[in-house]
Amino acid sequence: YVQGSEADARQALISSTFQIDEETKLMLESEKLLFKREHLILGPVIGQGHFGCVYRGTLELEGKGEVQQVAVKTLHNNSRGGEADGQAFLEEALIMKDFHHMNVLPLIGLSIDESGGLMVIIPYMKYGDLLSYIRDERNNPTVKELITFGIHVAEGMKYLADTKFVHRDLAARNCMLSEDFIVRVADFGLSRDVYEKDYYSGDNKKTKLPVKWMAPESLEKGIYNHKTDVWSYGVLLWELMTRGVTPYPEVDNWDIVNFLKQGRRMQQPSYCPDELYDIMLQCWQDDPKRRPSFAQLVTDVSNVITSLEKKKRNRRVSLNVTYVNYPNPGASDGAGPSTEDWPADGPS
């Protein structure tokens, strides 16, 4: 998220020309997903971009006398895509309504503002997006915690794969971190605003794509499936183990395809366990059939912690070492634990 003032938030309230049709409205009401506007109180902006804003807010649960902390997504009335953006905004919400897993961000519901525009209500995630959290020098995640975040993402993606859902944009910026440090896979449209430099448009294409997270077949042929999501997951693991360094820091967006065609891959981060880097390389296999499934990844990444715990007992490695985030998140080796916390033979 990027921070914004409360005044900006009020001014940015959705008043888009896009409105929900009656059939959709009836469906939302029947599933108890449509909340009265007066039951929703908006607080300050916690994220904003060219297309819209995210507010922190409270939702009064009708008939229960309870109040829930929420985040509310809105679309600017000057959104460049107009009707198309509004439709995509609604479709994202309708997809989310069927997700029920602790590692996938669910939809609480929707509301319609005074102008007839759409407001999407989702759980409030105290620590915001995962990328911002791991980049923040004030946070001190351990090796074990970072790997555990990776397990959470794998669990969420396994669920999505089981429901036949293809994410297409899996990255640390699109995962959220709750108060109890549970990672939930999400797909905030606003991430494309906040992290605009992570998206690239080549060959005069209008659509910006997250090329550094994409599999070769997605880049060259526009193919997206669970195996291309697995490739992106490998990149996400690399993000975790570098505390949020932008992937391929020395490769330009336009040169990614050529880089990958040469059989080249990102190097192992300095303090990344060998077992975890091996998993990344499996995710980055040229042949999609040779990439693991998310079910296998849940097992394999969990086994990394088990293996390192055994080494810890043998005094070969510490899982509780704290990662230090260096000032430049664009550096090729942007993070690592304090070296004095490692045993003399290193984090093998």
Catalytic residue among 85, 129, 169, 229: 169
Rounded to two decimals, the pTM is 0.81
Whether 314 has a binding-site annotation, put simply, is: no
- Predicted confidence at residue 7, as pLDDT, reads 34
Distance CA 337, CA 2 (A): 27
316 is in an annotated binding site: no
Mean pLDDT of 262-275: 95
Please write the tens of the pLDDT for every residue from 295-319.
999 999 999 999 988 887 775 556 6
**In this model, does residue 184 exceed pLDDT 90?**
yes
In the CATH hierarchy, which top-level class contains the domain 19-123? alpha beta
* Amino acid, single-letter form, for residue 201: S
Predicted confidence band at 96 (pLDDT cuts at 50, 70, 90)?
confident
* Range 337-348 average pLDDT: 32
Cα–Cα distance, 277 to 280 (Å, whole number): 5
Which ranges of the chain does DSSP label H, i.e. alpha helix?
A: 6-11, 22-30, 83-96, 130-135, 143-162, 191-194, 216-221, 226-241, 256-261, 274-283, 294-313
Q: How much is the pLDDT for 54?
A: 87
- Please report the pLDDT score of residue 115 as a whole number: 78
d(CA 266, CA 284): 10
Candidate ranges 24-28, 40-44, 326-330, 344-348; pick with highest mean pLDDT: 40-44
Which range, of 97-106, 109-118, 250-259, averages the lowest pLDDT?
109-118
Spatial separation of the C-alpha atoms in residues 286 and 66, rounded to whole Å: 51
> Is the model more confident about 276 or about 63?
276
Query: Which option is the CATH number for 128-190+208-305: 1.10.10.370, 1.10.510.10, 1.20.120.10, 3.30.470.30?
Result: 1.10.510.10
What pLDDT is stored for residue 155 in this prediction?
99
pLDDT at 341: 32
**Residue 35 is which amino acid?**
F
- CB-CB neighbours of 225 under 10 Å: 14
The alpha helices in 163-204, defined as continuous H runs, are 191-194
Give residue 92's pLDDT: 73
Residue 161: is its pLDDT beyond 70?
yes
**Mean of the per-residue pLDDT values for the chain?**
81
User: How many Cα atoms sit within 13 Å of 38 on the Cβ side?
Assistant: 1
Give the pair of three-digit tokens for residue 93. Answer: 């919400």
**Among 73-77, 185-189, 343-347, which range has the highest average pLDDT?**
73-77
**For the residues 163-173, what does the mean pLDDT come to?**
92
- Domain ranges for the chain, please list them: 19-123, 128-190+208-305
Same fold, 19-123 and 128-190+208-305: no
Residue 28, pLDDT score: 81
Q: Is 174 annotated as a binding residue?
A: yes
- Res 42 pLDDT > 80: yes
Mean pLDDT for 118-147 is 93
pLDDT category at 16 given cuts 50, 70, 90 is very low
Examine the pLDDT at 139 and tell me if it is beyond 90.
Answer: yes
Q: Is pLDDT above 50 for 74?
A: yes
Nearest of 303, 323, 157 to residue 240 by alpha carbon: 323
Check whether 150 has a pLDDT greater than 60: yes
Tell whether residue 21 is among the known ligand binding residues.
no
End-to-end CA distance of the chain: 35
- Pairing type for strands 335-337 and 323-325 reads antiparallel
Q: Establish whether 169 is a catalytic residue.
A: yes
Confidence of residue 51 (pLDDT cuts 50, 70, 90): low
Ranking 113-117, 134-138, 222-226, 341-345 by mean pLDDT, the lowest is: 341-345
| Confidence category of residue 3, pLDDT binned at 50, 70, 90 | very low
